[in-house]
Amino acid sequence: MLITVKLFATFRENRFKEARREYPPGTTVADVATELEIDHGLIGMIFIHGRAAELDRVLDEGDVLALFPLLGGG
């Protein structure tokens, strides 16, 4: 199934900003993060089609997944 993956801030380093990628049915957000070598503990926000999602969410054909890192500041 074809998924659009959007990465933000530091997740783009040595990766990409946006890419359409092929994944097998049953793929979760966690599977995508693992495949991209993104530590699950560093993920601050997950959106699918602009709505909040969790790591265990199973993706569907045509989903648009956005991953944001934890942000620090003060």
For residues 21 and 18, give the distance between their C-alpha atoms in angstroms, rounded to a whole number: 10
Instruction: List the chain pLDDT tens, one digit each, 74 residues.
Output: 999 999 999 999 999 999 999 999 999 999 999 999 999 999 999 999 999 999 999 999 999 999 999 986 55
d(CA 18, CA 66): 9
pLDDT of res. 73: 59
Least Cα distance to 22 among 62, 74, 53 occurs for 62
| CA 25 distance to own-chain centroid | 16
Any alpha helices (H) in 1-74, and if so which ranges? Answer: 29-35
- pLDDT of 71 reads 81
The structural domains of the chain, ordered by start, are 2-69 (3.10.20.30)
Cα-only R_g, the chain: 12
pLDDT of residue 69: 97
